[in-house]
Structure 1
Protein backbone atom coordinates (compact mmCIF):
# COMPACT_ATOMS: atom_id res chain seq x y z
CA UNK A 1 0.00 0.00 0.00
CA UNK A 2 1.19 3.49 -0.78
CA UNK A 3 0.96 5.80 2.24
CA UNK A 4 1.95 9.45 2.31
CA UNK A 5 3.16 10.66 5.70
CA UNK A 6 2.77 14.36 6.52
CA UNK A 7 3.15 16.42 9.68
CA UNK A 8 0.88 19.48 9.39
CA UNK A 9 1.03 21.98 12.26
CA UNK A 10 4.67 21.04 12.94
CA UNK A 11 6.97 24.05 12.97
CA UNK A 12 10.71 23.73 12.44
CA UNK A 13 11.39 25.04 15.93
CA UNK A 14 9.41 22.15 17.40
CA UNK A 15 11.24 19.39 15.56
CA UNK A 16 13.93 18.99 18.21
CA UNK A 17 11.41 18.40 20.99
CA UNK A 18 9.87 14.99 21.60
CA UNK A 19 6.06 15.26 21.72
CA UNK A 20 3.90 14.05 24.57
CA UNK A 21 1.37 12.65 22.11
CA UNK A 22 0.87 12.20 18.37
CA UNK A 23 -2.58 12.24 16.77
CA UNK A 24 -2.70 9.81 13.82
CA UNK A 25 -5.40 10.58 11.25
CA UNK A 26 -5.92 8.10 8.36
CA UNK A 27 -7.07 9.79 5.17
CA UNK A 28 -7.91 9.10 1.59
CA UNK A 29 -9.17 11.66 -0.88
CA UNK A 30 -12.31 10.31 -2.53
CA UNK A 31 -13.75 11.29 -5.89
CA UNK A 32 -15.56 14.35 -4.56
CA UNK A 33 -13.90 17.33 -2.88
CA UNK A 34 -15.66 16.89 0.47
CA UNK A 35 -12.83 14.86 2.01
CA UNK A 36 -10.20 17.45 1.10
CA UNK A 37 -12.43 20.04 2.74
CA UNK A 38 -12.70 17.91 5.87
CA UNK A 39 -8.94 17.44 6.05
CA UNK A 40 -8.36 21.17 5.64
CA UNK A 41 -10.88 21.92 8.36
CA UNK A 42 -9.31 19.38 10.72
CA UNK A 43 -5.80 20.72 10.08
CA UNK A 44 -6.95 24.29 10.67
CA UNK A 45 -8.68 23.22 13.89
CA UNK A 46 -5.54 21.59 15.28
CA UNK A 47 -3.31 24.47 14.22
CA UNK A 48 -5.22 26.57 16.73
CA UNK A 49 -6.08 24.02 19.42
CA UNK A 50 -3.08 21.66 19.53
CA UNK A 51 -1.02 22.19 22.71
CA UNK A 52 2.79 22.45 22.52
CA UNK A 53 3.24 18.79 23.45
CA UNK A 54 1.00 17.49 20.68
CA UNK A 55 1.64 16.66 17.04
CA UNK A 56 -0.69 15.86 14.16
CA UNK A 57 0.24 13.09 11.72
CA UNK A 58 -1.85 12.55 8.58
CA UNK A 59 -1.42 9.19 6.83
CA UNK A 60 -2.85 9.37 3.33
CA UNK A 61 -3.49 6.30 1.23
CA UNK A 62 -2.38 6.74 -2.35
CA UNK A 63 -4.60 6.19 -5.39
CA UNK A 64 -3.41 2.60 -5.63
CA UNK A 65 -6.65 1.07 -6.85
CA UNK A 66 -7.17 -0.65 -3.51
CA UNK A 67 -10.08 -0.07 -1.10
CA UNK A 68 -9.57 2.39 1.74
CA UNK A 69 -7.83 0.58 4.60
CA UNK A 70 -7.95 2.51 7.85
CA UNK A 71 -6.35 -0.22 9.97
CA UNK A 72 -3.31 -0.52 7.73
CA UNK A 73 -2.92 3.26 7.68
CA UNK A 74 -2.95 3.35 11.48
CA UNK A 75 -0.17 0.76 11.57
CA UNK A 76 1.88 2.75 9.05
CA UNK A 77 1.35 5.95 11.02
CA UNK A 78 2.39 4.30 14.27
CA UNK A 79 5.66 3.09 12.76
CA UNK A 80 6.27 6.54 11.27
CA UNK A 81 6.13 8.02 14.77
CA UNK A 82 9.24 6.08 15.71
CA UNK A 83 11.28 6.39 12.52
CA UNK A 84 12.92 9.57 13.79
CA UNK A 85 14.95 9.36 16.98
CA UNK A 86 13.41 12.56 18.35
CA UNK A 87 9.83 11.50 17.57
CA UNK A 88 9.06 9.01 20.32
CA UNK A 89 5.73 10.02 21.85
CA UNK A 90 4.44 8.82 25.20
CA UNK A 91 0.93 8.45 23.76
CA UNK A 92 -0.46 7.79 20.28
CA UNK A 93 -4.02 8.84 19.50
CA UNK A 94 -5.92 7.00 16.75
CA UNK A 95 -8.25 9.67 15.46
CA UNK A 96 -11.16 9.85 13.01
CA UNK A 97 -11.21 12.78 10.62
CA UNK A 98 -14.88 13.31 11.53
CA UNK A 99 -14.28 14.41 15.14
CA UNK A 100 -12.97 17.83 16.21
CA UNK A 101 -12.22 17.94 19.97
CA UNK A 102 -12.61 21.09 22.01
CA UNK A 103 -9.66 22.38 24.03
CA UNK A 104 -10.58 20.68 27.30
CA UNK A 105 -10.99 17.31 25.58
CA UNK A 106 -7.77 17.72 23.62
CA UNK A 107 -5.87 18.33 26.85
CA UNK A 108 -6.93 14.87 28.05
CA UNK A 109 -5.24 13.11 25.14
CA UNK A 110 -1.81 13.17 26.77
CA UNK A 111 -2.95 12.02 30.21
CA UNK A 112 -0.49 9.53 31.58
CA UNK A 113 -0.60 7.51 34.78
CA UNK A 114 -1.82 3.96 35.11
CA UNK A 115 -4.27 4.21 32.22
CA UNK A 116 -2.64 2.62 29.19
CA UNK A 117 -5.62 2.82 26.85
CA UNK A 118 -8.36 5.44 26.86
CA UNK A 119 -11.38 5.35 24.54
CA UNK A 120 -13.09 8.69 24.01
CA UNK A 121 -16.75 9.15 23.18
CA UNK A 122 -18.83 12.23 22.53
CA UNK A 123 -20.62 13.52 25.61
CA UNK A 124 -23.73 14.05 23.49
CA UNK A 125 -25.31 12.25 20.57
CA UNK A 126 -25.69 8.66 19.47
CA UNK A 127 -22.20 7.59 20.60
CA UNK A 128 -22.74 8.59 24.23
CA UNK A 129 -22.20 5.15 25.71
CA UNK A 130 -19.59 3.43 27.85
CA UNK A 131 -19.45 0.67 25.25
CA UNK A 132 -18.22 2.89 22.43
CA UNK A 133 -14.74 1.95 21.23
CA UNK A 134 -13.63 3.92 18.21
CA UNK A 135 -13.46 7.43 16.87
CA UNK A 136 -10.69 8.54 19.23
CA UNK A 137 -8.50 6.02 21.07
CA UNK A 138 -5.41 7.07 23.04
CA UNK A 139 -2.84 4.39 23.82
CA UNK A 140 0.64 4.09 25.18
CA UNK A 141 2.90 2.63 22.46
CA UNK A 142 3.42 -0.60 24.42
CA UNK A 143 -0.32 -1.34 24.39
CA UNK A 144 -0.60 -0.93 20.62
CA UNK A 145 2.45 -3.15 20.14
CA UNK A 146 1.09 -5.80 22.52
CA UNK A 147 -2.10 -5.97 20.44
CA UNK A 148 -0.01 -6.19 17.24
CA UNK A 149 -1.73 -2.99 16.11
CA UNK A 150 -4.72 -3.07 13.82
CA UNK A 151 -5.47 -5.73 11.19
CA UNK A 152 -4.17 -5.05 7.70
CA UNK A 153 -6.71 -7.23 5.94
CA UNK A 154 -9.95 -5.42 6.86
CA UNK A 155 -10.68 -2.88 4.14
CA UNK A 156 -12.91 0.01 5.04
CA UNK A 157 -13.54 1.86 8.25
CA UNK A 158 -15.19 0.76 11.49
CA UNK A 159 -14.60 -2.97 11.79
CA UNK A 160 -10.93 -2.39 12.60
CA UNK A 161 -11.96 -0.65 15.84
CA UNK A 162 -13.82 -3.76 17.00
CA UNK A 163 -10.85 -5.89 15.99
CA UNK A 164 -8.45 -3.68 17.97
CA UNK A 165 -10.70 -3.92 21.00
CA UNK A 166 -10.62 -7.72 20.79
CA UNK A 167 -6.85 -7.71 20.28
CA UNK A 168 -6.34 -5.57 23.38
CA UNK A 169 -8.43 -8.03 25.40
CA UNK A 170 -6.36 -10.95 24.14
CA UNK A 171 -3.19 -9.03 25.05
CA UNK A 172 -4.68 -8.53 28.54
CA UNK A 173 -4.82 -4.76 28.13
CA UNK A 174 -7.63 -2.92 29.88
CA UNK A 175 -8.98 0.53 29.05
CA UNK A 176 -11.08 3.31 30.44
CA UNK A 177 -13.79 5.39 28.78
CA UNK A 178 -13.84 9.17 28.77
CA UNK A 179 -16.51 11.50 27.50
CA UNK A 180 -15.47 14.63 25.64
CA UNK A 181 -16.89 17.50 23.66
CA UNK A 182 -16.48 17.02 19.91
CA UNK A 183 -17.68 19.08 17.00
CA UNK A 184 -18.71 17.08 13.96
CA UNK A 185 -16.57 17.44 10.86
CA UNK A 186 -19.31 15.82 8.79
CA UNK A 187 -22.37 18.04 9.13
CA UNK A 188 -21.83 19.88 5.86
CA UNK A 189 -22.01 16.59 4.01
CA UNK A 190 -24.69 14.71 5.94
CA UNK A 191 -26.91 14.52 2.87
CA UNK A 192 -24.32 12.42 1.05
CA UNK A 193 -23.55 8.76 1.59
CA UNK A 194 -20.33 8.58 3.56
CA UNK A 195 -17.82 6.55 1.49
CA UNK A 196 -15.37 6.15 4.37
CA UNK A 197 -17.68 3.90 6.35
CA UNK A 198 -18.00 1.63 3.35
CA UNK A 199 -15.95 -1.51 3.15
CA UNK A 200 -13.89 -1.46 0.03
CA UNK A 201 -16.01 -1.44 -3.09
CA UNK A 202 -18.76 -3.76 -1.90
CA UNK A 203 -21.83 -3.40 -4.12
CA UNK A 204 -24.05 -2.32 -1.23
CA UNK A 205 -21.41 0.08 0.02
CA UNK A 206 -21.25 -1.17 3.60
CA UNK A 207 -20.23 -4.27 5.48
CA UNK A 208 -23.15 -6.37 6.64
CA UNK A 209 -23.34 -7.58 10.23
CA UNK A 210 -22.68 -11.13 9.04
CA UNK A 211 -19.57 -10.09 7.14
CA UNK A 212 -18.31 -8.14 10.14
CA UNK A 213 -18.71 -11.16 12.40
CA UNK A 214 -16.86 -13.34 9.89
CA UNK A 215 -13.97 -10.87 9.68
CA UNK A 216 -13.72 -10.56 13.45
CA UNK A 217 -13.84 -14.34 13.95
CA UNK A 218 -10.95 -14.73 11.53
CA UNK A 219 -8.97 -11.95 13.18
CA UNK A 220 -9.37 -13.55 16.61
CA UNK A 221 -7.36 -16.49 15.26
CA UNK A 222 -4.82 -14.53 13.24
CA UNK A 223 -4.21 -11.38 15.28
CA UNK A 224 -0.62 -12.33 16.05
CA UNK A 225 0.07 -13.05 12.37
CA UNK A 226 -1.43 -9.94 10.79
CA UNK A 227 -1.00 -6.41 12.02
CA UNK A 228 1.73 -4.03 13.10
CA UNK A 229 4.41 -6.70 12.72
CA UNK A 230 3.54 -7.38 9.08
CA UNK A 231 2.36 -4.04 7.69
CA UNK A 232 3.95 -3.02 4.39
CA UNK A 233 3.81 0.47 2.96
CA UNK A 234 5.92 2.78 0.88
Structure 2
Protein backbone atom coordinates (compact mmCIF):
# COMPACT_ATOMS: atom_id res chain seq x y z
CA UNK A 1 0.00 0.00 0.00
CA UNK A 2 2.81 2.41 0.97
CA UNK A 3 4.60 1.56 -2.29
CA UNK A 4 1.49 2.46 -4.34
CA UNK A 5 1.16 5.81 -2.54
CA UNK A 6 4.83 6.60 -3.19
CA UNK A 7 4.52 5.76 -6.88
CA UNK A 8 1.41 7.93 -7.20
CA UNK A 9 3.20 10.84 -5.46
CA UNK A 10 6.17 10.56 -7.85
CA UNK A 11 3.90 10.54 -10.91
CA UNK A 12 1.95 13.53 -9.59
CA UNK A 13 5.16 15.48 -8.87
CA UNK A 14 6.49 14.70 -12.33
CA UNK A 15 3.30 15.95 -14.00
CA UNK A 16 3.34 19.13 -11.88
CA UNK A 17 6.94 19.84 -12.83
CA UNK A 18 6.15 19.32 -16.52
CA UNK A 19 3.15 21.65 -16.33
CA UNK A 20 5.19 24.35 -14.51
CA UNK A 21 7.99 24.20 -17.09
CA UNK A 22 5.42 24.41 -19.89
CA UNK A 23 3.72 27.45 -18.38
CA UNK A 24 7.09 29.16 -17.78
CA UNK A 25 8.11 28.57 -21.41
CA UNK A 26 4.81 29.96 -22.74
CA UNK A 27 5.02 33.08 -20.50
CA UNK A 28 8.63 33.66 -21.53
CA UNK A 29 7.70 33.53 -25.23
CA UNK A 30 4.82 35.94 -24.61
CA UNK A 31 7.00 38.47 -22.77
CA UNK A 32 9.72 38.26 -25.41
CA UNK A 33 7.19 39.17 -28.09
CA UNK A 34 6.20 42.43 -26.36
CA UNK A 35 7.77 45.69 -27.68
CA UNK A 36 10.46 47.19 -25.44
CA UNK A 37 9.62 50.76 -24.36
CA UNK A 38 12.49 53.09 -23.44
CA UNK A 39 12.22 56.42 -21.65
CA UNK A 40 14.86 58.25 -23.69
CA UNK A 41 14.72 61.41 -21.62
CA UNK A 42 15.73 59.39 -18.55
CA UNK A 43 18.77 57.90 -20.24
CA UNK A 44 22.26 59.41 -20.03
CA UNK A 45 22.98 61.72 -22.97
CA UNK A 46 25.63 59.54 -24.62
CA UNK A 47 23.09 56.71 -25.03
CA UNK A 48 20.46 59.08 -26.35
CA UNK A 49 22.96 60.26 -28.94
CA UNK A 50 23.48 56.78 -30.32
CA UNK A 51 26.36 55.48 -28.19
CA UNK A 52 26.18 51.90 -26.90
CA UNK A 53 25.80 51.15 -23.20
CA UNK A 54 29.23 49.51 -22.96
CA UNK A 55 30.93 52.88 -23.53
CA UNK A 56 29.46 54.40 -20.38
CA UNK A 57 32.70 53.84 -18.47
CA UNK A 58 34.40 56.19 -20.92
CA UNK A 59 34.60 59.93 -20.46
CA UNK A 60 32.04 62.06 -22.26
CA UNK A 61 33.25 64.38 -25.03
CA UNK A 62 31.64 67.71 -25.96
CA UNK A 63 32.64 68.81 -29.45
CA UNK A 64 32.48 72.61 -29.22
CA UNK A 65 32.29 74.30 -32.63
CA UNK A 66 32.55 78.12 -32.77
CA UNK A 67 30.32 79.07 -35.66
CA UNK A 68 28.92 81.79 -37.87
CA UNK A 69 27.44 81.54 -41.37
CA UNK A 70 29.09 78.23 -42.29
CA UNK A 71 26.01 76.17 -43.08
CA UNK A 72 27.48 74.33 -46.09
CA UNK A 73 30.46 73.21 -44.02
CA UNK A 74 28.19 72.15 -41.17
CA UNK A 75 26.17 69.87 -43.46
CA UNK A 76 29.38 68.00 -44.25
CA UNK A 77 30.90 68.21 -40.77
CA UNK A 78 28.15 66.52 -38.77
CA UNK A 79 27.77 63.26 -40.77
CA UNK A 80 31.54 63.00 -41.12
CA UNK A 81 32.21 63.33 -37.38
CA UNK A 82 29.48 60.85 -36.47
CA UNK A 83 30.93 58.29 -38.85
CA UNK A 84 34.51 58.97 -37.74
CA UNK A 85 33.88 58.81 -33.98
CA UNK A 86 31.50 55.86 -34.18
CA UNK A 87 34.53 53.72 -35.07
CA UNK A 88 36.20 54.82 -31.84
CA UNK A 89 33.14 54.11 -29.67
CA UNK A 90 33.43 57.46 -27.90
CA UNK A 91 30.41 59.02 -26.09
CA UNK A 92 30.09 62.48 -27.63
CA UNK A 93 27.74 65.24 -28.68
CA UNK A 94 28.23 68.18 -31.04
CA UNK A 95 27.49 71.72 -29.80
CA UNK A 96 27.38 74.49 -32.39
CA UNK A 97 28.07 77.81 -30.63
CA UNK A 98 26.65 80.28 -33.11
CA UNK A 99 27.49 83.99 -32.79
CA UNK A 100 24.35 86.03 -33.51
CA UNK A 101 25.40 89.60 -32.69
CA UNK A 102 26.79 92.32 -34.97
CA UNK A 103 30.31 92.21 -33.57
CA UNK A 104 33.26 90.67 -35.34
CA UNK A 105 33.67 86.92 -34.95
CA UNK A 106 35.28 85.90 -31.64
CA UNK A 107 36.28 82.25 -31.75
CA UNK A 108 37.85 82.17 -28.28
CA UNK A 109 34.87 83.72 -26.48
CA UNK A 110 32.51 81.28 -28.21
CA UNK A 111 34.65 78.38 -26.99
CA UNK A 112 34.48 79.81 -23.46
CA UNK A 113 30.68 79.91 -23.75
CA UNK A 114 30.58 76.36 -25.09
CA UNK A 115 32.71 75.12 -22.20
CA UNK A 116 30.49 76.79 -19.59
CA UNK A 117 27.40 75.30 -21.25
CA UNK A 118 28.73 71.74 -21.35
CA UNK A 119 31.02 71.35 -18.33
CA UNK A 120 28.34 69.91 -16.04
CA UNK A 121 27.69 66.83 -18.18
CA UNK A 122 30.95 66.40 -20.11
CA UNK A 123 34.46 65.52 -19.00
CA UNK A 124 36.43 67.11 -21.82
CA UNK A 125 35.94 69.25 -24.89
CA UNK A 126 37.22 69.29 -28.43
CA UNK A 127 37.81 72.85 -29.59
CA UNK A 128 36.94 72.02 -33.20
CA UNK A 129 36.89 74.07 -36.41
CA UNK A 130 33.90 73.23 -38.59
CA UNK A 131 35.99 73.19 -41.78
CA UNK A 132 38.61 70.64 -40.66
CA UNK A 133 37.63 66.98 -41.08
CA UNK A 134 39.88 64.16 -39.80
CA UNK A 135 40.59 61.40 -42.32
CA UNK A 136 43.14 59.18 -40.58
CA UNK A 137 41.48 56.66 -38.22
CA UNK A 138 44.58 56.71 -36.01
CA UNK A 139 43.65 60.20 -34.84
CA UNK A 140 42.13 59.23 -31.50
CA UNK A 141 39.66 61.54 -29.73
CA UNK A 142 40.08 59.75 -26.41
CA UNK A 143 40.21 61.47 -23.01
CA UNK A 144 43.48 63.48 -22.81
CA UNK A 145 44.53 62.24 -19.38
CA UNK A 146 48.17 63.36 -19.68
CA UNK A 147 47.45 66.86 -20.95
CA UNK A 148 45.96 68.76 -23.89
CA UNK A 149 45.98 66.73 -27.12
CA UNK A 150 46.44 68.65 -30.34
CA UNK A 151 44.84 66.48 -33.02
CA UNK A 152 45.72 68.73 -35.98
CA UNK A 153 49.47 68.86 -35.39
CA UNK A 154 51.84 71.09 -37.40
CA UNK A 155 53.14 67.95 -39.13
CA UNK A 156 49.70 67.09 -40.54
CA UNK A 157 47.65 70.29 -40.72
CA UNK A 158 47.04 71.39 -44.33
CA UNK A 159 48.14 75.01 -43.72
CA UNK A 160 49.96 75.75 -40.46
CA UNK A 161 53.27 74.11 -39.58
CA UNK A 162 55.00 76.12 -36.83
CA UNK A 163 55.89 74.27 -33.62
CA UNK A 164 53.62 76.21 -31.24
CA UNK A 165 50.53 75.93 -33.42
CA UNK A 166 47.56 74.44 -31.52
CA UNK A 167 44.63 75.58 -33.70
CA UNK A 168 42.15 73.51 -35.65
CA UNK A 169 41.34 70.66 -33.25
CA UNK A 170 42.46 70.60 -29.60
CA UNK A 171 41.21 68.20 -26.92
CA UNK A 172 41.42 69.37 -23.30
CA UNK A 173 39.86 68.07 -20.12
CA UNK A 174 37.75 70.49 -18.11
CA UNK A 175 40.14 70.64 -15.15
CA UNK A 176 42.94 71.91 -17.40
CA UNK A 177 40.69 74.39 -19.22
CA UNK A 178 39.63 75.85 -15.89
CA UNK A 179 43.23 75.82 -14.63
CA UNK A 180 44.30 78.26 -17.38
CA UNK A 181 41.07 80.29 -17.01
CA UNK A 182 39.89 79.41 -20.48
CA UNK A 183 40.72 81.56 -23.48
CA UNK A 184 41.26 85.29 -23.87
CA UNK A 185 38.21 87.36 -24.83
CA UNK A 186 40.26 90.05 -26.59
CA UNK A 187 40.43 88.41 -30.02
CA UNK A 188 37.77 89.86 -32.30
CA UNK A 189 38.38 89.03 -35.94
CA UNK A 190 40.56 86.26 -37.28
CA UNK A 191 43.73 84.83 -35.79
CA UNK A 192 46.14 84.69 -32.81
CA UNK A 193 43.69 83.49 -30.13
CA UNK A 194 45.09 79.95 -30.27
CA UNK A 195 48.68 81.26 -30.05
CA UNK A 196 47.76 83.14 -26.86
CA UNK A 197 46.12 79.99 -25.51
CA UNK A 198 49.33 78.04 -26.14
CA UNK A 199 51.17 80.50 -23.88
CA UNK A 200 48.52 80.00 -21.19
CA UNK A 201 49.05 76.25 -21.32
CA UNK A 202 52.83 76.62 -21.22
CA UNK A 203 52.74 79.05 -18.29
CA UNK A 204 50.54 76.60 -16.36
CA UNK A 205 53.13 73.85 -16.87
CA UNK A 206 50.91 71.83 -19.22
CA UNK A 207 52.53 69.93 -22.07
CA UNK A 208 50.67 69.79 -25.36
CA UNK A 209 50.67 66.25 -26.75
CA UNK A 210 50.19 65.24 -30.37
CA UNK A 211 49.15 62.00 -32.08
CA UNK A 212 51.95 59.50 -32.63
CA UNK A 213 52.58 56.98 -35.40
CA UNK A 214 50.58 58.93 -37.97
CA UNK A 215 51.71 57.78 -41.42
CA UNK A 216 49.84 60.46 -43.37
CA UNK A 217 50.94 64.02 -44.05
CA UNK A 218 49.66 67.49 -44.80
CA UNK A 219 47.82 66.39 -47.93
CA UNK A 220 45.80 63.45 -46.65
CA UNK A 221 45.39 63.58 -42.85
CA UNK A 222 42.57 66.12 -42.95
CA UNK A 223 40.09 67.53 -45.39
CA UNK A 224 40.06 71.31 -45.24
CA UNK A 225 36.82 72.61 -46.71
CA UNK A 226 37.40 76.33 -46.31
CA UNK A 227 37.22 78.32 -49.54
CA UNK A 228 39.16 81.57 -49.09
CA UNK A 229 37.75 83.11 -52.25
CA UNK A 230 34.19 82.52 -51.03
CA UNK A 231 34.73 83.25 -47.33
CA UNK A 232 37.40 85.86 -46.76
CA UNK A 233 38.98 85.95 -43.33
CA UNK A 234 38.50 89.09 -41.25
CA UNK A 235 42.14 90.04 -40.75
CA UNK A 236 41.59 93.79 -40.27
CA UNK A 237 43.44 95.50 -37.43
CA UNK A 238 42.06 98.73 -35.99
CA UNK A 239 42.57 100.96 -32.95
CA UNK A 240 45.38 99.42 -30.84
CA UNK A 241 44.34 95.83 -31.61
CA UNK A 242 47.68 94.75 -33.04
CA UNK A 243 49.61 95.92 -29.98
CA UNK A 244 47.24 94.35 -27.41
CA UNK A 245 46.73 90.99 -29.10
CA UNK A 246 50.47 90.39 -29.49
CA UNK A 247 50.81 90.20 -25.71
CA UNK A 248 49.80 87.54 -23.19
CA UNK A 249 46.36 88.37 -21.75
CA UNK A 250 46.48 88.01 -17.96
CA UNK A 251 43.11 89.67 -17.34
CA UNK A 252 40.28 88.12 -19.35
CA UNK A 253 39.14 84.55 -19.69
CA UNK A 254 36.51 82.05 -18.69
CA UNK A 255 35.52 84.04 -15.60
CA UNK A 256 34.50 87.22 -17.41
CA UNK A 257 33.27 86.24 -20.86
CA UNK A 258 30.24 88.48 -21.40
CA UNK A 259 27.35 86.98 -23.34
CA UNK A 260 23.67 86.23 -23.57
CA UNK A 261 22.12 83.01 -24.90
CA UNK A 262 19.20 83.87 -27.15
CA UNK A 263 17.98 80.29 -27.47
CA UNK A 264 19.04 76.71 -28.00
CA UNK A 265 17.78 74.24 -30.57
CA UNK A 266 17.98 70.47 -30.88
CA UNK A 267 18.62 69.96 -34.58
CA UNK A 268 19.19 66.89 -36.75
CA UNK A 269 21.32 66.73 -39.88
CA UNK A 270 20.78 63.53 -41.83
CA UNK A 271 18.90 62.28 -38.72
CA UNK A 272 21.98 62.94 -36.55
CA UNK A 273 21.37 65.08 -33.45
CA UNK A 274 23.30 68.23 -32.59
CA UNK A 275 22.64 71.20 -30.32
CA UNK A 276 22.75 74.76 -31.66
CA UNK A 277 23.28 77.52 -29.09
CA UNK A 278 22.62 81.03 -30.38
CA UNK A 279 24.85 83.45 -28.51
CA UNK A 280 25.19 87.22 -28.38
CA UNK A 281 28.66 88.27 -27.27
CA UNK A 282 28.76 91.58 -25.40
CA UNK A 283 31.66 93.86 -26.21
CA UNK A 284 33.17 96.41 -23.84
CA UNK A 285 34.21 99.01 -26.40
CA UNK A 286 36.29 100.86 -23.85
CA UNK A 287 38.55 97.81 -23.51
CA UNK A 288 38.32 96.25 -26.99
CA UNK A 289 36.98 98.87 -29.42
CA UNK A 290 38.11 96.63 -32.29
CA UNK A 291 35.12 94.33 -31.75
CA UNK A 292 33.62 96.49 -34.48
CA UNK A 293 36.04 97.62 -37.14
CA UNK A 294 34.91 99.81 -39.99
CA UNK A 295 35.78 98.85 -43.52
CA UNK A 296 38.54 101.08 -44.90
CA UNK A 297 37.19 103.89 -47.03
CA UNK A 298 38.14 103.53 -50.65
CA UNK A 299 39.20 106.84 -52.18
CA UNK A 300 38.97 107.57 -55.83
CA UNK A 301 42.18 108.28 -57.61
CA UNK A 302 42.46 111.80 -59.01
CA UNK A 303 43.20 111.75 -62.69
TM range (shorter): 0.7 to 0.9
Looking at structure 2, the residues matched to 177 and 70 of structure 1 have their Cα atoms a distance apart, in angstroms, of 22
Provide closer, same or farther for how the CA distance between residues 110 and 212 of structure 1 changes in structure 2, counting only shifts above 3 A.
farther
Alignment of 1:101-116 (within 5 A): 101-102=134-135, 104-106=137-139, 108-114=140-146, 116=147
2:85 alignment counterpart: 50
1:117 alignment counterpart: 148
Looking at structure 2, the residues matched to 96 and 141 of structure 1 have their Cα atoms a distance apart, in angstroms, of 19
Residue 12 in structure 1 maps to residue 48 in structure 2: yes
Provide closer, same or farther for how the CA distance between residues 46 and 110 of structure 1 changes in structure 2, counting only shifts above 3 A.
same
SS in 2 for 1:177: coil
Structure 1 residue ranges without an equivalent (≥5): 1-8, 30-34, 199-204
Pick the aligned partner of 1:136 from 169, 189, 192: 169
Name which one, 1 or 2, has greater alpha-carbon Rg. 2
Structure 2 residue ranges without an equivalent (≥5): 1-44, 262-303
Tell me by how many angstroms 1:105 deviates.
Answer: 4.4
1:215 alignment counterpart: 245
Alignment of 1:26-65 (within 5 A): 26-29=66-69, 35-51=70-86, 52-53=89-90, 54-62=92-100, 64-65=101-102
Looking at structure 2, the residues matched to 76 and 214 of structure 1 have their Cα atoms a distance apart, in angstroms, of 22
Provide closer, same or farther for how the CA distance between residues 22 and 103 of structure 1 changes in structure 2, counting only shifts above 3 A.
farther
TM-score by length of 1: 0.73
SS in 1 for 2:71: helix
Tell me by how many angstroms 1:151 deviates.
Answer: 0.9
Q: Report 1 or 2 for greater relative contact order, CA contacts < 8 Å, sequence distance ≥ 6.
A: 1
Paired residues, what number? 199
Tell me by how many angstroms 1:80 deviates.
Answer: 1.1
Looking at structure 1, the residues matched to 119 and 79 of structure 2 have their Cα atoms a distance apart, in angstroms, of 25
Looking at structure 1, the residues matched to 171 and 117 of structure 2 have their Cα atoms a distance apart, in angstroms, of 17
Looking at structure 1, the residues matched to 209 and 244 of structure 2 have their Cα atoms a distance apart, in angstroms, of 27
Deviation string 1:130-162 (CA, Å, 9 cap, x unpaired) is 432211111121111111111112112321101
Looking at structure 2, the residues matched to 47 and 132 of structure 1 have their Cα atoms a distance apart, in angstroms, of 26
RMSD between aligned alpha carbons?
Answer: 2.9
Residue 88 in structure 1 maps to residue 122 in structure 2: yes
Residue 145 in structure 1 maps to residue 178 in structure 2: yes
Deviation string 1:160-212 (CA, Å, 9 cap, x unpaired) is 101111111222212123367211122xx3433523xx2xxxxxx4349x954
Deviation string 1:17-70 (CA, Å, 9 cap, x unpaired) is 5753222110011xxxxx2101111112123222342322211111x2111110
SS in 1 for 2:254: coil
Tell me by how many angstroms 1:213 deviates.
Answer: 5.2
Looking at structure 2, the residues matched to 73 and 157 of structure 1 have their Cα atoms a distance apart, in angstroms, of 13
1:227 alignment counterpart: 253
TM-score by length of 2: 0.58
SS in 2 for 1:68: coil
Looking at structure 2, the residues matched to 49 and 23 of structure 1 have their Cα atoms a distance apart, in angstroms, of 13
Provide closer, same or farther for how the CA distance between residues 140 and 124 of structure 1 changes in structure 2, counting only shifts above 3 A.
closer
Looking at structure 2, the residues matched to 111 and 11 of structure 1 have their Cα atoms a distance apart, in angstroms, of 18
